Each structure stands twice: as structure tokens, then as C-alpha cells.
Structure 1
Amino acid sequence: MSQPRAIVAGATYLLTRRALRRHFLFRPDAAITQLIVYALAVSARRYGIRVHALCAMSTHLHVVVTDVEGVLPRFLQFFHRLVALGTKAIRAWEGPVWGHEATSVVRLVTRAAVAEKIAYTLANPVGAGLVRHAREWPGAKVLVGELGRGVLRAKRPGVYFDPSNPAWPEDAAISLALPPAVAEDDADAFRLEVGAELERQEAEAHASMHRKGHRFLGADRVRKISPAQRATSSEPSRGFNPTFAVGRGHADARRIVAAAVRAFRTAYREALEQWRAGLRDALFPAETWWMRVFHGASVSDPVIVL
């Protein structure tokens, strides 16, 4: 059984989901880039999601968002369904598109964590040995200079989306928002912060490639890989699936958030045991989502910290 997860209105997250068996289904060509940007723009507008950063790798997607209304599961279900169905049509792909593991959802608690994970998102193609610099990645992405002021825009794909359905506009766009942790008058400083972290991560990737005696694949070769192929490079075990990040040097925040996560899970399990015993007045902790939405369970009021 998976751990219960609090869905927090206004929280910022790093979201990651992988293609089935690491197939290159999202190889960065024009059709897939158009699909991913269109699906993200339509889905984010539908559920009030604020998009901060994006990098569509050949085998997985990274998106950094803020869930303003506390509807993240709805957004993920809708967005991933559009991407899957569009990919099946573009690639003439039979069977599932997404891997069997659940979407990685990491709550970014501090400004430092937001900056680090946005930089990580942008640096992904470099860390994977594909291009020397993040800006060279040919797929759907956000550049540092676009943070908080760029726009993701795409025309309706020619597959799957019915032109006569008003749910699928001819053009879809979503403005890139600043994370809640960043004030408008601090936007330039935040972009510099992310840029510096991106440079640090790129330098680490360059040093790693040099030690291994490897060369970067390059954008042209990336585009030529068959979507039916699978990544064969070694990949760290994903046995540990973090639920939050606080950034380097924030040990106190880590302890506080970890204690809150443990308290939520304990309260949730206690309420679930009562529910299973037939007590329909069991009170689940604030920010419970599944039991509240699908079973009408009662939840406690959120704790307001002054």
C-alpha cells in the first residue's frame, strides 16, 4: 500500500513521470513537443495550475508547478491522459505509454528547494549526457530567462483532439508564473539564483562525463533515435521516493517538515482504521484528498500558523 499523501492548496511541486520501460516515446521532434506543450497548457488552465518550469526528456517528463486550488491529482490524471493518447496516435504505439510506477510528486517547501529543483529540471538533458548545455536541448523546455515571464504556446495537434470540441482550442497558451516563494520585485534575483545553480549542475555533469571518458550525444543524434528503442544506461534505484525537498543547508526545515509528514500519516491511518470499522464520522487530517473527494469523509480544519 502506498503512503497517504497530503494535497496542499498553494504548494509547489516537482512532478516526474516516466515512459514505459524507458522507451524514447517522447523523443524531441516537432509533433511531440507540440503535443506536450498543448496538453500542459490546456490542463493547467482547466485546473488553475501555475506552471514554473518544464523539460520533456525522451523517456520522461519534468514539470514544476504550483497547485493553487489543491486539485493536483485531477490535473495529473488529465494531463497524463492527454499526453498518453496523443503519443499513441503520433507514434502509432500499441499498449501503455506510461511506466507502472506512480508519478513522483515532490513538494518544494523552501525557496532554495524551488530554485534547486527548477535548475535540476532544466539541467536534466546535460546530466543525462545528451547536450552540453541546457539551452541546447531540442525538446519542450523552459529557459532561465523565461522563468516568471515567458509563455508556453502551441497549436492544437492534428491527432486525437477533435477540432469541433470546444475543450480543445485551436491555440493554447499558459504564462510561466513565478513561484509563490518569489516576489515580483525579486524575480531577477531569483533567475540569477536558478542560473547559478544550473551552471553548477552543468559543471558537475561535464566533470562526470570527463571522468568516464564519455562524449555528449548532441541534439542532432537525439532527434534520430527511434521512439521504440529503450534507454540502456544504468539508472539509480528508485526504491526511495521522496515526498518533499527543502534545499541544501536547511536541516531545521527538513526536521520540521518530516515531523509534519509523519503526523499526517499517523492521523490518516488512525482515521482509516476507524472508517474501515464502520465509523463514518472518522475525522481525517486536513489536506486529505482521496477519502474526502471519493468517499465524502470528513476532514479536520487546517492548522493556521501565525
Structure 2
Amino acid sequence: MSQPREIVPGATYLITRRVLRRHHLLRPDAAINQLLVYVLAVSTRRYDIKVHALCAMSTHLHLVVTDTNGVLPRFLQFFHRIVALGTKVLRQWEGPVWDHEATSVVRLLTRAAVVEKIAYVLANPVSAGLVRHAREWPGIKADTSELGRGLLRATRPAAYLDPENPLWPDEVTLPLSLPPGIARDSAERFRDDVAAELELLEAQAHAEVQQQRRPCLGADRASRVSPYERATSFEALRGRNPTFAVGREQGDAWRIAGAAVRAFRASYREALERWRAGIRDAVFPSGTWWMRMLHGVNVTGTALTS
């Protein structure tokens, strides 16, 4: 049984979704880039999700977003479904697109965590030995200079989406927003902090590549790899999938956050046991999502937007 997850309006997350068996189905070519930007723009507008950073690798997708209204599961379901269906058409692919493992959703609780995870997302192509610098990656991404002010555009892909359906406009835009708590007058400092962290990660990746004597693949070759091939680099399976991150050197923040997660889970399970015993007026903790959506259970606090 999976752990219950607290869904909170206004929370910021690092989201990671992996392609089935590490196939290169999201290889960064023009058609896939167009599909990803378009579907992400439509999905985020539909559910009022704010995008802060993103990077689409050939085998997985990273997003850093804020869930304004506390509807993250709805957004993920819609976005991942449409991307999968469009990818199946573009790649003439039979079967699932996404890995069977659950989407990784890590709540970012501090400014330090947001800075570190955005830099981590942007550094992914460098860490994988695909390009020397993050800005060279040909897939969809955010450069540090675009954080909080960039704008991605895409026209409706010809694959899968019905032009007669008003849900799919001819053209969409995807703004890159500042994370909550980052004021406009401190945006440049925020971008500088992310750039410094990214520079550190790139330097670490360069040292590792040099030590292992691995050649850098390069943007051009990364764009031409077969989408049906699988990544062969080592990747640990079923590793830790954290619920939250607080960043380095944040004092007691990790301990406090861990205690809050344990308290939510304990309260949730106590209410669930009562509900299973037939006590239909059992009250679940604020942040309960699935039981409220599926069964309409009572939840403490203000009701979330469905």
C-alpha cells in the first residue's frame, strides 16, 4: 500500500516521470518538443499550475511547479495522459509510454530546496554526459536567465489532437513563473543563486566524466538517437523516493518537516480505519485528496478545489 500524500494548495514540487524501461521516446526533436510545450501549456492553464523550471530528457521529464489550488493529481493525470497518447502517435509506439513506477513528487519546503532542485533539473543533461553545459541541451528546458520571465510557445501538434476541439487552441504560451516567496525585486538574486548552484553541479559532472573517461555525446547526436533504444548507463532501481526536500544547511527544517509528514499519515490512517469500520463521519486530516475525491469523506479545515 502506498503512503498517503498530503495535497496542499500553494505547495511547490519537483516532479519526475520516467519513460518505460528507459526508452528514448522523448528524444529531443522538434515534434516531441512541440508536443511537450503545447500539452504542458494547456494542462497548466486548465489546472492553474505555475511552472518555474523544466527539462525534458530522452528517458524522463522533470518539472518544478506550484499547485495553486491543490489539484496536483488531476493535473498530473491529464498532462501525462495526453503526452503519452501524442507520443504513441509520433513514435508509432504500441503499449505504455510511462514507467510503471509512480510519479516522483517531492515537495520543496524552503527557498534553498527550490534553488537546489531547479539547478538539479537544469543540470540533468550535463550530469548524464550528454552536453557540456545545460544551455546546450536541445530538449525543452529553462535557462537560468529565463527563470521568472521566460515564455515558451507552441502551435497545436498535428498528432492526436483534434483541431475542432476548443480544448486545443491553435497556439499556446507557457510562462515561467517565479516560485512563491520570491518577490520581483529579489528575482535577480534568485536567478544568480540558481546559476551558482548549476555551475557547481556542472563542475562536478565534468570531473566525474573526466574521471570515468566518458566522451560527451553532444546535442546533435542526442537529437538523432533512436527513440526505440534504451539507455544503458547504470541506474539504481527502486531507490529512495523522498516526500519532501528542505535543502542543505537548513537547521531543524528537515526534522520538523518529517514530523509533520508522520503526523499527517498517522491521522490519515486512524481516520481510514474508522471509515473502514463503517464510521462514515470519520474526519480525515487537511490535505487528504483521494478519499475526499472518491468517497467525499469529511476533511478538517477548508475544502480544497476539486
1:153–1:174 CA contact under 8 A, matched in 2: yes
Secondary structure of 1:15's counterpart equals strand
Secondary structure of 2:252's counterpart equals helix
Return the letter of the residue paired with 1:105: V
Return the letter of the residue paired with 2:33: T
1:49–1:66 CA contact under 8 A, matched in 2: yes
Q: Return the alpha-carbon distance in structure 2 between the equivalents of residues 46 and 254 of structure 1.
A: 33
Q: Deviations over 1:110-163 (max 9, x none)?
A: 000000000000000000110000000001111100000011211000111100
Gaps of 5+ in 1: none
TM-score (norm 2): 0.98
Report how far residue 215 of structure 1 moved.
Answer: 1.5
Tell me if 1:19 matches 2:19: yes
Identify the residue that residue 34 of structure 1 maps to in structure 2.
34
1:255-294 to 2 correspondences below 5 Å = 255-294=255-294
CA RMSD of aligned residues (A): 0.8
Report how far residue 240 of structure 1 moved.
Answer: 1.2
Count of aligned residue pairs for this structure pair: 302
Moved over 6 A (4+): none
Identify the residue that residue 162 of structure 2 maps to in structure 1.
162
Secondary structure of 1:14's counterpart equals strand
Secondary structure of 1:237's counterpart equals coil
Identify the residue that residue 57 of structure 2 maps to in structure 1.
57
Q: Return the alpha-carbon distance in structure 2 between the equivalents of residues 114 and 221 of structure 1.
A: 31
Q: Deviations over 1:202-246 (max 9, x none)?
A: 000000001111111101111111000001110123331101000
1:7–1:288 CA contact under 8 A, matched in 2: yes
Secondary structure of 1:62's counterpart equals strand
1:216-235 to 2 correspondences below 5 Å = 216-235=216-235
Report how far residue 301 of structure 1 moved.
Answer: 1.6
1:1-306 to 2 correspondences below 5 Å = 1-301=1-301
Report how far residue 17 of structure 1 moved.
Answer: 0.2
1:146–1:176 CA contact under 8 A, matched in 2: yes
2:283–2:299 CA contact under 8 A, matched in 1: yes
TM-score (norm 1): 0.98
2:51–2:175 CA contact under 8 A, matched in 1: yes
Q: Return the alpha-carbon distance in structure 1 between the equivalents of residues 152 and 245 of structure 2.
A: 26
Return the letter of the residue paired with 2:280: R
Q: Return the alpha-carbon distance in structure 1 between the equivalents of residues 153 and 238 of structure 2.
A: 33
2:37–2:174 CA contact under 8 A, matched in 1: no
Q: Deviations over 1:243-300 (max 9, x none)?
A: 1000011141001100000000000000001111111001100010001111100011
Q: Return the alpha-carbon distance in structure 1 between the equivalents of residues 225 and 72 of structure 2.
A: 33
1:15–1:103 CA contact under 8 A, matched in 2: yes
Gaps of 5+ in 2: none
Q: Return the alpha-carbon distance in structure 2 between the equivalents of residues 252 and 22 of structure 1.
A: 37
1:110–1:181 CA contact under 8 A, matched in 2: no
1:27–1:227 CA contact under 8 A, matched in 2: yes
Secondary structure of 2:83's counterpart equals helix
Q: Return the alpha-carbon distance in structure 2 between the equivalents of residues 162 and 16 of structure 1.
A: 28
